[in-house]
Structure 1
Amino acid sequence: MEEKPFWVALQQTPGLGARRVLQLVKYFGGARAAWEAPEGELLTLEGLGKGAVSLLNWRRQVHPEKIMVSLAAAGIGVITIEEEVYPPELKRIYDPPPVLYWRGSRLPGEGFKIAIVGTRRATAYGLKVAEELAAGLAEAGVGVVSGLARGIDAAAHRGAIKGGGLTWGILGCGVDIVYPREHRELYRQVMEHGAIISEFPPGTPPDAGHFPARNRIISGLTAGTVVVEAAARSGALITADLALEQNRDVFAVPGPITSRYSQGPHDLIKQGAKLVSGVADILEEYEPRSLWSLPREETRASVTLNAIEEKVLAVLEATPSHLDVIMAATGLPAGELNTALIMLEMKQLIRRLPGGFYVRC
């Protein structure tokens, strides 16, 4: 039996938690080995504590393969951290979720993404700005990630859809639960233009304690986080703090000084976040700037490439691609690929972006 059912069964163990799941799998050398570990060894394993009792009780109640059958019947996909389709940028954070549940049309690991977050009690100004920024990013080929909450999040998703792009909604509940309820149609649209994602098992209700964990996925999936409106203490600022901890970029949109929802972005700007007055302020951090006076075809003809460089350049586009995706597409060993990328960058045919992304000039 493949490992995936055991990853899911471990992840769904009440009280075990993401970090302990990863520790168990590492200690026993695999998810199945951890699930089937001898009782005595689990009970004496240092640091597991009550988690051992929870796991022993849970594995008496459930069968991993039946869990997978139930998920498939509900139309819910599963991605585990050991799979190639797991988002590479998320895998690099301090505490990545071992399992992601998703419903939609596009895997969360696809493409270059930016998060847009903010208050649920957004002003008309904030809603307009969030939607316009998201639409601009989408038109430029950048995916938009947010939390499907009321206010700024909803405006960001709608803007991405309006711009004809991809968008992913990260939930603090199961992917089978529409929260808030009035977002049922938006939920459906996000599924059509991306996916609904959660680390919480289906059926998990929304809970205040879930949202900080949800926020680390929003920031962890993306190259940067844009805060549009947020009070001095808000979930959006937690997401911004997590982005900084994850070595991601933070952007902030200024607002009227008379609005309490401008305080969060203004404080971020004082602390070094980049001020955003339009989508160009975001894109210029990542998009290649033209270094040529000649058209691309003329410039390209003047540069000599070897066979490996030709192969790498052929898979790169104006939309950023991650190193792992390039490696999979070319089939090249890591050493040869890195050498080719360095040479292509020196020849000014590609540009390296933060987070292991590359883009064709």
Structure 2
Amino acid sequence: MSKSKSEQKFLLALQMIEGVGPATLRKLIDFAGSAREAFYLNQKQLKDIPRLHPKLYGALGNSKTLESADAELAFCQKHNIKVLSYLDPDYPQRLKHCKDAPVVLFCQGNIDLNYRKIIGIVGTRKATVYGTSLVERLIEDLAAHQHQVLIVSGLAYGIDIAAHKAALENGLPTVGVMGSGSDVIYPSSHRNIVKKMLKNGGVITEFPKGTKPDRGNFVTRNRVIAGMVDALIVAESGERGGSLITADMAFSYNRDVFAFPGKVGDTYSAGCNKIIKTQKAALLETVSDIEYVMNWAPETAVSEPVQTSLFEGLSPQERTIMELIVEDGVVAVDYLAAKLALPVSHISGVLLGLELKNMVKSLPGNQYTKSV
């Protein structure tokens, strides 16, 4: 076995020690000089390392742990799963600098985890039409503005899978971070989506084969989503839940956090409104908000029909509304709200802005037409 393969085995063996976190493992490796040396540290040597839990003294050097690591590596080789340690150049460098980043990741697919731009999108499993439409429109606009961006989420029902699907539909790579072993796709109903993701992105996990999707694992995996991105977007969330935990983690890692606002009183907008109100997240309405905060100018001029050149300077959402008004001549606010799956209050605000720009004018019956 080559030196690098041997080191990989010992890194994996260290990660398999139950109850020992990544920060402690890194401390051991830094002290010993390598994962192999760290695995065989004796009790006397361990006492020289400050703030180590005594239970670690008997956990190192266990031959059964090494056997498990060997079995895991054999499984990965057989199933074309890439094993990345935090010492590898292909390991996500944004994540590497988080003190609790996994020592080892298991990766499947065609993945560049150090993509130029990376956005994480999370939200409730009980997503509404409003939430999924916001995610779909945002990803569509990111692609339209030629942003070469990797979309990261957690494969769950609701907002997560909507983000993965929208990325695939718009030709953007997407990565799912799992809370289970690489052989346990959860939920199983998303297997077909994962197959498509493997061609342009893939899935990653820190958990060894056979690990079931226990509830605690999802909280653990959230830090990977939060740590490997440039910006995290919360699309919809109740007042409590995993999405807000991920947002807190991203905030603690000094990542930019965004949230779509929702109507006061809506159950699955309460969390978003809360983190906007407490200034843990920037208010997000359109892709231009991300471009402004992140200083991401569109990669190239957006290719649009000649008609839309009349709408230069408008946000994608304003352009969409203008296109509908021009197409129909006169439209009602209720119609626009239903068509775009957005609250009437939100549509009214956008129309007011267009009216102030002298793009539209209001008519009786809460209707609008294009200004002459």
What TM-score do the two structures reach when normalised by structure 1? Answer: 0.75
**Change beyond 3 A, Cα 1:60–1:261:** closer
Q: 1:116 touches 1:134 (CA, 8 Å); kept in 2?
A: no
Amino acid at match of 1:157: H
Residue of 135, 142, 153 corresponding to 1:137 = 142
Q: Deviations over 1:29-50 (max 9, x none)?
A: 1111112334654588651421
Figure out how many residues of one structure are paired with residues of the other and give that number. 290
Contact 1:137 1:279 in 2 (8 A): yes
Distance in 1 of aligned mates of 2:228 and 2:102? 11
Alpha-carbon distance between aligned partners in 2 of 1:244 and 1:89, rounded to the nearest angstrom: 14
Q: Residue in 2 aligned with 1:24? A: 28
- For residue 103 of structure 1, the aligned residue among 102, 108, 116 is 108
Name the structure 1 match of 2:323.
Answer: none
Q: Alignment partner for residue 85 of structure 2, among 80, 83, 90?
A: 80
Structure 1 alignment gaps of length 5 or more: 291-361
2:195 corresponds to which residue? 188
Q: Deviations over 1:114-134 (max 9, x none)?
A: 111100011111111112222
Instruction: Confirm or deny that 1:210 pairs with 2:214.
Output: no
- The one-letter amino acid paired with 1:99 is V
* Residues 35 and 59 of structure 1: CA distance in aligned 2, closer, same or farther (over 3 Å): farther
Three-state SS of the structure 1 residue aligned to 2:293 is: coil
Residues 153 and 60 of structure 1: is their aligned pair in 2 closer, same or farther, counting only changes over 3 Å?
closer
Q: In structure 2, how many angstroms separate the alpha carbons of the residues matched to 1:236 and 1:66?
A: 34
Bigger drift between 240-249 and 34-43 goes to 34-43
> 2:33 is matched by which residue type in structure 1?
G
Distance (whole Å) between structure 2 residues aligned to residue 238 and residue 230 of structure 1: 11
**Cα distance between partner residues in 1 of 2:180 and 2:172:** 25
- Aligned residue type for 2:204: I
2:357 alignment counterpart: none
Q: Residue in 2 aligned with 1:312?
A: none
Q: Partner of 1:246 in structure 2?
A: 253
Question: Partner letter of residue 152 of structure 1?
Answer: I
2:23 equivalent to 1:15: no
1:55 aligns to what SS in structure 2? Answer: coil
Seen in structure 2, the aligned counterparts of structure 1 residues 280 and 111 have a Cα distance that, compared at 3 Å, is same
Whether the 8 Å CA contact 2:16–2:65 is kept in 1: the answer is no
Pair 63,130 (structure 1): closer, same or farther in 2 beyond 3 Å: closer
What is the rounded CA distance, in whole Å, between the counterparts of 1:117 and 1:49 in structure 2? Answer: 38
**Number of the residue aligned with 1:284:** 292
- For residue 269 of structure 1, the aligned residue among 266, 276, 296 is 276
What secondary structure is seen at the aligned counterpart in 2 of 1:136?
helix
The 1-side partners of 2:141 and 2:57 are apart by 49
Measured in 2, the distance between the counterparts of 1:182 and 1:64 equals 30
Structure 2 CA distance for aligned equivalents of residues 109 and 61 of structure 1: 30
- Give the conservation status (yes or no) of the 8 Å contact 1:231–1:262: yes
Any gaps of 5 or more consecutive residues in structure 2? 299-372
- 1:126 counterpart residue number: 131
Aligned 8 A contact 1:127 1:152 in 2:
yes
Q: Secondary structure at the match of 1:225?
A: strand
Give the alignment's Cα RMSD to 1 decimal. Answer: 2.1
Counterpart amino acid of 1:115? G
Closer, same or farther: CA 60–193 of 1 in aligned 2, 3 Å? closer
Alignment of 1:166-181 (within 5 A): 166-181=173-188
Q: Distance in 2 between matches of 1:202 and 1:43?
A: 33
One of 74, 92, 103 as aligned partner of 1:69: 74
Kept in 2: contact 1:137–1:143 (CA 8 A): no
1:35 corresponds to which residue?
39
Structure with the greater alpha carbon radius of gyration: 2
